[in-house]
Amino acid sequence: MIRAIYGELGQQKGANGKISIIGGCLEYTGAPYYAGASCLRAGADLAHVFCTYNAGIPIKCYSPELIVHPVLKAANENPELSDKSVWPKALEEIYGEVSRWYPSMHAFIVGCGLGKDEFLADHLAPRLLTLAKEQGKIIVADADAITILCKNIDILAGYQSAVITPNPNEFKRLWDAYINEPLPNQEYRCLEREITELPASDPMVSSSVRLARRLGNIIFQKGQIDIITNGEKVVCVSTPGSRKRCGGQGDILAGIIATLSHNATRNSLEMIDGVVAASMLMKRCAYVAFCKRGRSLTAPDIIKVLPEVVAEALSLDPSL
């Protein structure tokens, strides 16, 4: 499956993926870096990061491979935004700076290190999400973007090219926002195969299916067993992963999802196939890195092994 998703290596720069990350603020600079770095290590050609000014220099220093645009603003970083009367003008200026890059992009990762600043998260980011939807781009909504979805329940409604990646707590928040009923207990069980397709009515996945149908998006419910569904097709991935849950793994996963989703659609496959492959690769990377580092595992260890895991999946020599 992974061979089919990657297909032939595109020879033109950008063909294998031009991915944008919307996130990065004064408090959080690692998350957008991890997302961008994992895009590139998973095979994308270009990764752009749109962040605030205070996040720009640190992210540039982490890696020269990322194209960093420090054009976003947050009220808690910009004293001039303490006056809300200037917000409409500021929003239009920033929107113009970011939106001119949209036509050339294949996918957008929103939420990694975005933060919860009112101006940035409640006013600017929803407009950027909406524009990505209007232009038919792949969207991966992670972390702080899930908070945006809980506050704006129609923003990605029915958009089948969006992947929402909640952890258990975020899944509960989405459920409360969109279903507004008590969340049933999910009956997890051991699965015989690492990749298992289950019927939508199975008690282990029925809540995920219902939420996916309500949103109209692909739900990637993260856990020891990942549950991935577009409301019709349901796939569980139980590939062994890391025994340690270090910070940054969700950001790495978001980058792999964006890259493989683009490659799947580029090669005329279903987007959900790329999402399932991303789950497999992420878990395998975490497992390999944990075997090397054990308790000392950190997110960069996972990114470091990503090229060899991709090569292994493609049955190639990592040196090629």
Write out pLDDT tens, residues 190-228: 898 999 999 999 999 999 999 999 999 999 999 999 999
Q: Is 85 a domain residue?
A: yes
Average pLDDT, the chain: 96
Q: Is 319 a domain residue?
A: no
- pLDDT of 79 higher than 50: yes
Domain total in the chain: 1
Q: Is 218 a domain residue?
A: yes
Is 210 annotated as contributing to ligand binding? no
Is 226 annotated as contributing to ligand binding? yes
Q: What is the pLDDT of residue 180?
A: 86
Q: What is the 3-state secondary structure (H, E, C) of the chain?
A: CHHHHHCCCCCCCCCCCEEEEECCCCCCCHHHHHHHHHHHHCCCCEEEEEEEHHHHHHHHHHCCCCEEEEEECCCCCCHHHHCHHHHHHHHHHHHHHHHCCHHHCCEEEECCCCCCCHHHHHHHHHHHHHHHHHCCCEEEECCHHHHHHHHCCCCCCCCCCEEECCCHHHHHHHHHHHCCCCCCCCCCCCCCCCEEECCCCCCCCHHHHHHHHHHCCEEEECCCCEEEECCCCEEEECCCCCCCCCCCHHHHHHHHHHHHHHHHHHCCCCHHHHHHHHHHHHHHHHHHHHHHHHHHCCHHHHHHHHHHHHHHHCCCCCCC
Is 246 annotated as contributing to ligand binding? yes
Q: What is the pLDDT of residue 170?
A: 97
Is 251 annotated as contributing to ligand binding? yes
Give the CATH number for residue 188: 3.40.1190.20
Is 250 annotated as contributing to ligand binding? yes
Q: Is 318 a domain residue?
A: no
- Find the domain containing 150 and state its range: 2-313
Is 24 annotated as contributing to ligand binding? no
Is 290 annotated as contributing to ligand binding? no
Q: What is the pLDDT of residue 316?
A: 63
Q: What is the pLDDT of residue 186?
A: 84
Is 27 annotated as contributing to ligand binding? no
Is 111 annotated as contributing to ligand binding? no
Q: Is 250 a domain residue?
A: yes
Q: Is 133 a domain residue?
A: yes
Is 222 annotated as contributing to ligand binding? yes
Q: Is 271 a domain residue?
A: yes
Against a cut of 0.85, is the pTM above it? Answer: yes
Is 245 annotated as contributing to ligand binding? yes
The fraction of the chain above a pLDDT of 90, given in percent, is 94
Q: What is the pLDDT of residue 1?
A: 82
The tens digit of pLDDT for each residue in 223-260 reads 999 999 999 999 999 999 999 999 999 999 999 999 99
Q: In the structure, what pLDDT confidence band is assigned to residue 315 with cuts at 50, 70 and 90?
A: confident
Is 152 annotated as contributing to ligand binding? no
Contacts of 154 (CB under 8 A, 6+ apart): none
Is 267 annotated as contributing to ligand binding? no
Q: Is 100 a domain residue?
A: yes
Is 172 annotated as contributing to ligand binding? yes
Is 225 annotated as contributing to ligand binding? yes
Is 169 annotated as contributing to ligand binding? yes
Is 247 annotated as contributing to ligand binding? yes
Q: Are 174 and 168 in contact (CB under 8 A)?
A: no
Is 241 annotated as contributing to ligand binding? yes
